[in-house]
Structure 1
Amino acid sequence: MICDNIRINEDGNLTFAGLDTIDLAKKYGTPLYLMDEDKIRENCNIYKDALKKYFGDSARVLYASKAAAFKRLYEIIDDEDMGIDVVSSGEIYTAIKAGVSLQNAYFHGNNKTDFDIKYAIENKIGYFVVDNIEELDAIEKESSRQCIIQKILLRLTPGIDVHTYEAVNTGKVDSKFGTAIETGQAEKMVEYTLGLKNIELCGFHSHIGSQVFNSDNYLNGSEKMLDFIADIKSKLGYETKVLNIGGGYGVRYTQDDPIIDIDANIKKVSEFIKKKVKTLSINMPQIIMEPGRSIVGDSGMTLYTVGTVKTITGYKSYVSVDGGMTDNPRYALYQSPYTVMIANKAREKEDFKYSVVGRCCESGDIIQEDVMMPKAKRGDIVAVLTTGAYNYSMASNYNRITRPPVVMIKDKKDYLAVRRESFEDLVRNDI
């Protein structure tokens, strides 16, 4: 199996986090999001331990909320003594409702509205990660109005082109995110920021992209950022205290994806950064990472019930399930690969090729093409693995379909974290 929390039991059923998925499907219905709380905590500690070991006590791990955000998840992250990366007022509100202090919250985004900025400052956000000059001016204005000095990082684009999905490649010069180093605009922005009265520039942030397996990308990005830090020190006399090197490593969606040793990779990055800092004669900044996908990705699984099985003679066969792009739009968006299994036939020979599709009135509503599975029939339970990240958080009500519940599993016991939406929820805001 692609993850150690997935097994097959003596009944031939797929198990997740020690529980029979067929039993869970019967208890809660489908579609159903499952999340393994123990795996989430394990992943948190892998990052925390590695950063502390290789970068010292000041290093900090932030959870990237966009991967999955709901109250119980924020409670777990807070319990693990991690900060949070938020990208909207809605994520801030959810964190507040979960009882999370915003002191160690970092507010990202390329277009924070005046409302977002006011709301975040009123609720004592720890840091803004500032994308552009217009945003910087808006934060300065609101900070002045509220009579505070607001801490910020500047988001910079180091010009790194990583080989990942184009839609999640964020480190290029022409990205919609951040201010480019290569064009000279980043230097001008630093100089401008240092002249503002109600802003405290704490450091810099960069994010090269998502689903990255190779540490060379982090090394290249860190080199560009550290060179910039040294250049700014020389020209402007400002030396950064904080360097946020961005998100975490990729996760395994299929057997073809490599197994990542996160500890070993962070060690490699730390050795490079420490050597580079010494060469440049600059102080070692506080290092921050903000993993999201690699915290929750392999903690998730989605269960569906097969509705129809249809073969077009001479062409292909379809397995249609009771969910689809409304609870997992990633194939429609990125053609994202997934491992798909029939949970109640986990030991049977996979000798039929199917396109697994959803129920939406949309030809692009596909979960995965060309999946080898046992012969499927109505009522079978289909499991899609590694769906903890960007599934619940990207879910929609397209076709007026209600969103599935989230069931957490801890110590082989299940509990409801997010209830299934009702029809009443669909019309709650209608007038």
Structure 2
Amino acid sequence: MVSTSPALASTADSCQYLPFVNSEAVLSPNQQLLPLTAAVTPDAHLSVGSCDVVDLVERFGTPLYILDDHTLRTACRQYRQGFERHYPGESLVLYASKAWSCMAVCAIVTDEGLGIDVVSAGELLTATEAGADRDRIYFHGNNKSAEELALAVEVGCRVVVDNWLELKTLGEIATQEGKTVPLLLRVTPGIECHTHDYIRTGHLDSKFGFDPDQIEAVFEFLVGQPQLNCLGVHAHIGSQIFELNPHTDLGGVMAQWIVTAQRYGLPLTELDVGGGLGIRYTEADDPPSIETWVKTVCASVVAACKAQNLPLPRLLCEPGRSLIGPACVTAYRVGSQKVIPGLRTYVSVDGGMSDNPRPITYQSVYRALVANRMTAPLDKTVTLAGKHCESGDILIKDAALPELKSGDVVTIAGTGAYNYSMASNYNRVPRPAAVLVSGGNACLIIRRETLVDLLRQDCLPETLRPKVKST
């Protein structure tokens, strides 16, 4: 790791912890607005992982993703230890790596005893290169290619089968390779949650999974496919969920699928309830804690298995957002401003929808702070705008902030989930760097793209090359 400046290191112990972060308490990271190590330094700067955010910006540039090692590891441990406390059987927590897939994040969650859920060949490669155990990798997706399925068979991970085409293709590949493939079946449970339509996946009108009325036909097919080892069933009811009742209902629905499988001589031993626990993006958000969510899920499955006289299956879950989301903040530099009297003040930063597409995609709301003036009064309401040539490139429509000036460091909280993962090169803007912070040290985990990187995949046919004029 790269050490921070001596001045910062010497003042780290005297930081003032923010009122909504108590470093001494055992807090659920998903209920916090900022990483657990967030603090205010004596010179009124935001600190994360005992690293001054202003110092990080000077060294690594902006926009900059700042990932707090302690917050991510704390969330991993709360999930894993919660299942150990509340579930009498075997359990495994999987990190839903679509939230942020990079080698450093996969290495951290693996080090914390988690498995990894992937949804593409790229995410699978990232997980294996980071050292994840292959039999603790679960490959999801509603349209895996034959090449991706062949890679999964070669790697030896579990495959979560989503549809008939995939099931039959996997059977053919397994036969050709002479291998037995462990798999789970994704089934749509018909449970709806109050969340954004784009991230509600448990209701019947969804592109994901077998419908419940197909499951007996699937079990019948599997009976004649000895090369396909069906270990269990999977369901996922959505994302950014604050409700607990849907998770209570899910256990009973899934236990019934296990009973149905038994009638076909398929002794299912794994039950994957997905993820979906929400996080606190603003003060108005009030998600349940990781502990409460885990306890609810475990009680539901235990009760459902007892009612059906079933042995407890290996219980899996797949948190993504609630693990990585609260652990990261994104820092920007303020640039130009436009004041429309009596209407609005636009304050532009040097990033936007290319590094955080969630506001324009999901109408997501965030909380911003001024990292170089943390004690300044929040006496202005401004619209925090991105730099892209798009009217909808707005990070926060009505942000309560101090008076801003060019060069200020604005930091947006809760940006660990789906920000880097969904980042783009819109307007040919290079994607940001990311640093991991811990104990006053910072190390680069993703290099900033350069302008040369933007041209790396371009191909210019010879017929289109500029012609040299003859003299």
TM over 0.5: yes
| Contact residue 117 and residue 139 of structure 1 kept, 8 A | yes
1:357-378, Cα deviation, whole Å (9 max, x unpaired): 1111111111111111111111
> What number of residue pairs does the alignment pair up?
427
Q: How does 1:301-380 map to 2 (within 5 A)?
A: 301-380=329-408
- Equivalent residue for 1:236? 264
Deviation of the 1:46 alpha carbon: 0.4
**Mapped pair 1:200 → 2:229:** yes
Ranges in structure 2 where 5+ consecutive residues have no aligned partner: 1-19, 21-32, 460-471
**Mapped pair 1:18 → 2:50:** yes
**Mapped pair 1:76 → 2:108:** yes
Deviation of the 1:259 alpha carbon: 4.9
Alpha-carbon distance in structure 2 between the residues aligned to 1:26 and 1:185: 57
Which runs of structure 1 show a deviation greater than 4 angstroms over 4 or more consecutive aligned residues? Answer: none
**Mapped pair 1:113 → 2:145:** yes
Indicate which of 267, 270, 273 corresponds to 1:245.
273
Alpha-carbon distance in structure 2 between the residues aligned to 1:122 and 1:305: 46
- Equivalent residue for 1:260? 288
1:299-335, Cα deviation, whole Å (9 max, x unpaired): 1000000111111122211010000000000000001
- Equivalent residue for 2:161? 130
Secondary structure in 2 matching 1:220: helix
Secondary structure in 2 matching 1:157: coil
Secondary structure in 1 matching 2:457: coil
| Contact residue 194 and residue 201 of structure 1 kept, 8 A | no
TM-score normalised to the size of structure 2?
0.88
Secondary structure in 2 matching 1:162: coil
| Contact residue 39 and residue 46 of structure 2 kept, 8 A | yes
Indicate which of 89, 94, 115 corresponds to 1:62.
94
- Equivalent residue for 1:147? 178
Q: C-alpha root-mean-square deviation of aligned residues, in Å? A: 1.4
**Mapped pair 1:188 → 2:217:** yes
| Contact residue 248 and residue 289 of structure 1 kept, 8 A | no
1:257-311, Cα deviation, whole Å (9 max, x unpaired): 1153222332232223212211111221110011111111111000000111111
Secondary structure in 2 matching 1:24: helix
- Equivalent residue for 2:30? none
Code of the aligned partner of 2:71: K
Code of the aligned partner of 1:77: V
- Equivalent residue for 1:166? 197
Q: Which protein shows a greater Rg? A: 2
Percent identical residues: 39
Alpha-carbon distance in structure 1 between the residues aligned to 2:195 and 2:335: 34
- Equivalent residue for 2:69? 37
1:171-204, Cα deviation, whole Å (9 max, x unpaired): 01011000111xx112222222222131001000
| Contact residue 68 and residue 389 of structure 1 kept, 8 A | yes
Secondary structure in 2 matching 1:389: coil
Alpha-carbon distance in structure 1 between the residues aligned to 2:171 and 2:287: 44
Deviation of the 1:345 alpha carbon: 2.1
Secondary structure in 1 matching 2:279: coil
Deviation of the 1:57 alpha carbon: 5.8
Deviation of the 1:17 alpha carbon: 2.2
Code of the aligned partner of 1:6: A
TM-score normalised to the size of structure 1?
0.96
1:42-96, Cα deviation, whole Å (9 max, x unpaired): 1110001011222246200111010101111111122112111000000111122
Alpha-carbon distance in structure 1 between the residues aligned to 2:290 and 2:376: 34
Ranges in structure 1 where 5+ consecutive residues have no aligned partner: none
Deviation of the 1:226 alpha carbon: 1.4
| Contact residue 193 and residue 243 of structure 2 kept, 8 A | no
Alpha-carbon distance in structure 2 between the residues aligned to 1:156 and 1:302: 36
Alpha-carbon distance in structure 2 between the residues aligned to 1:204 and 1:314: 57
Code of the aligned partner of 1:129: V
| Contact residue 157 and residue 171 of structure 1 kept, 8 A | yes
Code of the aligned partner of 1:197: P
- Equivalent residue for 1:5? 37
Secondary structure in 1 matching 2:84: helix
Deviation of the 1:248 alpha carbon: 4.6
1:359-402, Cα deviation, whole Å (9 max, x unpaired): 11111111111111111111111100010111111100111100
| Contact residue 34 and residue 407 of structure 1 kept, 8 A | yes
Alpha-carbon distance in structure 2 between the residues aligned to 1:158 and 1:331: 29
| Contact residue 332 and residue 349 of structure 2 kept, 8 A | yes
**Mapped pair 1:291 → 2:322:** no
Alpha-carbon distance in structure 2 between the residues aligned to 1:77 and 1:166: 29
